[in-house]
Structure 1
């Protein structure tokens, strides 16, 4: 029998182990370690992470030495690993593609079940859905606002109706918001001052006999559309060249019509007459004239690739306005010249008519008018029937009368001075 053993007593030396016993011991240790890893996976993973974290340099150096020693084997392992990874990714992609197809087909075959599932899930997860929405909005605030703005701009009538419906359904909430806003004394005072200023302006306009201030209300959608159009217009890199081509085209068209208006009019009338003889639908001679002028100017221009139909129409309107002003100026000059010539040729008769008109005005009790001015007025009335004045307004006629009176006054002063000089020489 073996009795108690004294641990402090000297022990006999252990017998030497054979290789077989050592291999058995290592196998038992590996088995114990494997069972421990299976039974305590989290502790083993944490222990491994701590060891790796504490021995990074050692691991890196060990891997480097092994790779230098077994370079071909390392390359072979790397190729095998990449091949397995590529095969795995391909299989996963094929599996996901088949799953998507299967799911899509099932959703197409069972739309009612899909909608019911979605409704049920939303009803059962209201808080989660709200949190999803809030989280997405916090992360993509600008994109969400931009999409909402685009929807409102695409359907302004629907947006306005939705806004009115919300206001009608939430009157108390709107009133509470207004009360909370006006609770701020600075905001309340600013609103009172703005209202008082508007009333003062309205009363001032009424006292002055002026109409009330009229503003064109522009909605936010209209302002955004105008801003986008302005950015697109002024941001166009071809804008300077476009403006240059438009300006040159307007100048050339105006110059051509001022120089060749009679020839263009003759061509247009001949073209219209030819269409009538051929039995074709009638055409407007003015439209034909301007269309022909545009063709001639475009053929003679160096660059017109950026011009549009709106540019051509604007150029035609500008040229017409310029020609109208030129013709109006010519009529004005001709009228003044005709009045002056008529007075010079018929001065005696016109002076007698002016004296008779002056006596008649005194007899009727009308205010007296200078006799020379009456003379020019009578001459203007006689000449107006013979000189074209279709483009002259009342103001133009008054200015022509003033210019003619001034020119005749200078001539009469010069004549009287010559007569006095002649009488002095005779004396």
Structure 2
């Protein structure tokens, strides 16, 4: 009926649903609350010490912040208090400093090195001031050092060895030993630069490009040297015609070589320092190559000249020795004197501007030692033919020019009439 407001009677299903709900509430409410309370009490008993520790830490942190703020607000009073305490407890301060340094020795040393690297002039000034305050320290230290006989003997032996080495290098025509002393700060700076050089990608790429440029420059100097020198001479002639001042030919030559490399390979991302370093290296390589070429040419020409003039060189060497005896000097080996005379004979037609005197003497000794029996007494006298035969015998015949010869039963090569022997050939 429309508009009927009569309440609906609960059904059996509703009653059962309500009963289940009440039973569920009763089941889940009391045991669950008790279980949660028991679990919280157990957890709280475990967390209580942690909370206590955290509470103490918070209190200590708050106290430190209050003390820091007070010290900042009363800085002069704090410094005065600390000064009085240090004066009253000097022994404790020293003991604390020694213990702290022993515990942090490496950190203190690294911090000191870093400060010396940042301010090198400050420490140099300190050193100068200390030396001015202690003028006789170095002298006294050296005197005490030499009082130890073993130390003094080692120092004298080291000086003698250094002098022997310098004399031996000068005799061999080698440059003296160069010793560059560097400070600890320089060594650390070099080590840092080396680490950066070998680990940085940019440095590696730059080094690769430098190697390419260096190789190309060395090839240009070695292969096109004559052409480049011709261009340098032509430019120098034009400058002289125009009345311009002359320039260094060597610098002009390497400038031409660098231009040729850039024209062939394009631009390089190198600095002027890198280009100058490459030029210096190539110049040294080229000078060494020219020196080796001149030394080989001198050796070859000296061998050929001596082979062709053994008798005459022997006579001149004997005359030279007689002159030495008359002058009151000792005689020298005939062969060595003959080779020196031969060098003087052929010097005019050779270019030896790259060879210093010790290198020329070394070359003479090397050629003389290759043929020790060339100027023996049996070869000093006799006809020109005997001298030539002795010279040919002292030089081994190249393998390509040897021919197989029959050997008789006695193990000797039979000499054929009308033909030259192996020695005469």
- What TM-score comes out, normalization by structure 1 length? 0.50
- Is contact 2:198–2:204 with CA below 8 Å preserved after alignment? no
Instruction: Name the residue aligned to 1:200.
Output: 150
Deviations 1:315-342 (Å, cap 9, x if unpaired)? Answer: 1111111111121122212222332333
Instruction: Name the residue aligned to 2:273.
Output: 310
Instruction: Name the residue aligned to 2:23.
Output: none
Instruction: Name the residue aligned to 1:13.
Output: none
Deviations 1:297-330 (Å, cap 9, x if unpaired)? Answer: 123236732x222221121111111111121122
Matched, 1:398 2:361: yes
Distance 1:238 1:375 in 2: 60
Distance 1:402 1:203, change over 3 A: closer
Distance 2:128 2:196 in 1: 33
Superposition deviation, residue 257 in structure 1: 0.8
Instruction: Name the residue aligned to 2:90.
Output: none
Q: Could you say what secondary structure the match of 1:283 adopts?
A: coil
**What is the root-mean-square deviation in Å for CA atoms of aligned residues?**
5.2
Superposition deviation, residue 223 in structure 1: 5.2
Q: Could you say what secondary structure the match of 1:385 adopts?
A: helix
Distance 2:341 2:126 in 1: 71
Distance 1:272 1:127 in 2: 80
Superposition deviation, residue 266 in structure 1: 1.7
Distance 1:325 1:162, change over 3 A: closer
**Of 329, 332, 349, which residue of structure 1 is paired with 2:295?**
332
Distance 1:421 1:390, change over 3 A: farther
Distance 1:228 1:298 in 2: 32
Q: Which has the higher helix share?
A: 1
Instruction: Name the residue aligned to 2:238.
Output: 274
Instruction: Name the residue aligned to 2:265.
Output: 301
Instruction: Name the residue aligned to 1:218.
Output: 183
Deviations 1:176-213 (Å, cap 9, x if unpaired)? Answer: xxxxxxxxxxxxxxxxxxx899973443121564489x
Distance 1:209 1:122, change over 3 A: closer
Gaps of 5+ in 2: 1-36, 41-70, 84-99, 134-144, 163-178, 375-387, 398-411, 419-425
- Is contact 1:272–1:284 with CA below 8 Å preserved after alignment? no
Distance 2:282 2:317 in 1: 43
Superposition deviation, residue 407 in structure 1: 6.0
Superposition deviation, residue 369 in structure 1: 4.2
Distance 1:199 1:234 in 2: 46
Superposition deviation, residue 291 in structure 1: 0.9
- Is contact 1:122–1:129 with CA below 8 Å preserved after alignment? no
Task: Within 5 Å, give how 1:105-254 maps onto structure 2.
Answer: 121-126=74-79, 153-159=117-123, 200-207=150-157, 209-210=159-160, 216=181, 218=183, 222=186, 224-254=188-218
Superposition deviation, residue 373 in structure 1: 3.8
- What TM-score comes out, normalization by structure 2 length? 0.50
The count of residues paired between Structure 1 and Structure 2 equals: 280
**Of 345, 353, 362, which residue of structure 1 is paired with 2:316?**
353
Distance 1:371 1:167 in 2: 62
Larger Rg: 1
Distance 1:424 1:388, change over 3 A: same
Distance 1:283 1:167 in 2: 49
Superposition deviation, residue 290 in structure 1: 0.6
Gaps of 5+ in 1: 1-53, 58-117, 131-137, 170-194
Distance 2:286 2:320 in 1: 39
